[in-house]
Amino acid sequence: MVAGTMVVGGVAATRAGEQLLEAAVREHARLVYRVTYSILRNHHDAEDATQETFVRALRYRTKLGEIDDIRAWLARIAWRVAVDDDRFIAQQTSRPTGAFDPGGTLPWRCRTAARDQ
């Protein structure tokens, strides 16, 4: 019986976490997108990074009730995801982040920074 109670409690915690995450997605999706877009400067990359942010948040859905400021927490995850993606894009093009890229394969922010130097 005790083990059954723990399972039921775990299911309840998971459902509560999923409801909190669903509310967070509805409320903060635009913020997360703006954070990722400000770094990546590409609509499609920012959408992918936004989705990855919420996938990472999904891993911690049972602990969402413990987080004091979900908005700041999601913004920080979004920032880290976008920075990681920016580094990955730079590595895939065999150029350092910020290298001048007249062909337009690097994110806009990188091309602008290199041109302004």
Measured CA to CA, the distance from residue 41 to residue 17 in angstroms comes to: 32
The reported pLDDT for the residue numbered 114 is 46
Confidence of residue 2 (pLDDT cuts 50, 70, 90): very low
Task: Kindly state the average pLDDT of the residues 66-82.
Answer: 95
Find the helix packing angle between 43-59 and 2-40, rounded to 10°. 160
Taking only the tens place, the pLDDT of each residue in 5-17 is: 444 456 666 777 7
- Of 34, 59, 58, 57, whose CA–CA distance to 47 is shortest? 34
Name all domains of the chain by residue range, CATH numbers in brackets.
2-116 (1.10.1740.10)
Higher pLDDT, 62 or 32: 32
Q: What is the share, in percent, of the chain residues with pLDDT greater than 70?
A: 68
